[in-house]
Structure 1
Amino acid sequence: MDKLISILDKHETEYEIIKHTKQINTAQEGADYFGIEIGQTAPTLILKTEKGFFALIISGDYGRVDFKIIKELISVKQVKLATPKEVEQVTGSKVGSVSLINESLPTIIDKQLNRFSYVYGGTGIPQTTLKLRPNDIAKLNKIVGYVR
């Protein structure tokens, strides 16, 4: 968490880290808990390809991820979700808590997050949520493409 706060502060990012007692496991749970639209939740998925791992930050209302689009976007033959063990090895976080900011991972972002002033996603630590502007997600990650 200290590393995340350091990155956010270094880039003079407006953000809020919200602590909560309930573990949030799905976009719907997050939307209900914070009283926001499901689209404002921004889960970070970790994808495994032959070129290595990628982060995919999507709007909570994205639905099913179309791996064919992802393959074309990043020019790979295979894409699948990383296993929970791989997610932890790559990010240091458990599935469901992966941070919105992963400077070392090539990142794909859902453009639909830009519909909102603020979105809510992981900090890397369970039972905490990062609230920030969607354009700051793009600024603080290594963006390799956009979906939608």
Structure 2
Amino acid sequence: MDKLIAILAKQQVEYEIIEHRKQINTAQEGAEYFGIHIGQTAPTLILRTEKGYYSLIISGDYGQVDLKSMKDLLQVQEIKLAKPKEVEQITGSSIGSVSLINPGLPTIFDRELYRYSYVYGGTGVPKTTLKISPKDIEDLNEIISYIR
């Protein structure tokens, strides 16, 4: 998490890291825990393609990710959700804790997150959550495409 904090501090971003006793594993759990709309949660998924790995940051109310449309968007032949071991190798964190900020990892961003001033997502460390503006998430990642 030191790396994340260093990035946020260097960019002078307004944020909050919230520690909690319970591990939050789903958007629904996050919404209930923080008393926010499910759309305000921002899970980060890691996608695996023949061209490499991508991060997908979506609003928690997005529903099931349509991998076929992601395939078309990225112009790849194959696309899958990365396996837990791959997620750890790529991000240094486990599924459910992947940071919202992953510099150098090509990222697809859900514009629906802009419905909110702040969204809540991973820090890379279990039992912690990053509260940050969607604009700052967009600015701190290598955004290559958008959904919605």
Report the TM range for the smaller structure's normalisation.
over 0.9
> Which segments of structure 1 move beyond 6 Å, counting only runs of 4 or more?
none
Question: TM-score normalized by structure 1?
Answer: 0.99
Structure 1 equivalent of residue 70 of structure 2:
70
Structure 1 equivalent of residue 123 of structure 2:
123
Cα distance per residue 1:115-139 (max 9 Å; x no partner): 0000000000000000000011110
Q: Counterpart amino acid of 1:95?
A: I
Do the aligned partners of 1:74 and 1:144 also contact (CA within 8 Å) in 2?
no
Q: What is the alpha-carbon distance in structure 2 between the residues aligned to residue 42 and residue 116 of structure 1?
A: 11
Question: In percent, how many aligned pairs have the same letter?
Answer: 70
Gaps of 5+ in 2: none
Structure 2 equivalent of residue 111 of structure 1:
111
How many residue pairs match? The answer is 148
Aligned-pair CA distance for 1:90: 0.6
Structure 2 equivalent of residue 140 of structure 1:
140
Do the aligned partners of 1:51 and 1:76 also contact (CA within 8 Å) in 2?
yes
Aligned-pair CA distance for 1:93: 0.2
Aligned-pair CA distance for 1:68: 1.7
Structure 1 equivalent of residue 19 of structure 2:
19
What secondary structure, in the 3-state scheme, does the structure 1 residue paired with 2:23 have? coil
Q: Counterpart amino acid of 1:106?
A: P
Gaps of 5+ in 1: none
The CA RMSD over aligned residues, in Å, is 0.5
Aligned-pair CA distance for 1:104: 1.7
Q: What is the alpha-carbon distance in structure 2 between the residues aligned to residue 4 and residue 10 of structure 1?
A: 10
Q: What is the alpha-carbon distance in structure 1 between the residues aligned to residue 138 and residue 70 of structure 2?
A: 17
Q: Counterpart amino acid of 1:46?
A: I
Q: What is the alpha-carbon distance in structure 1 between the residues aligned to residue 21 and residue 104 of structure 2?
A: 30
Aligned-pair CA distance for 1:73: 1.4
Aligned-pair CA distance for 1:63: 0.3
Structure 1 equivalent of residue 80 of structure 2:
80
Q: Counterpart amino acid of 2:37?
A: E
Cα distance per residue 1:39-84 (max 9 Å; x no partner): 0000000000000000000000000101122112111111100000
Q: Counterpart amino acid of 2:87?
A: V
Matched, 1:58 2:42: no
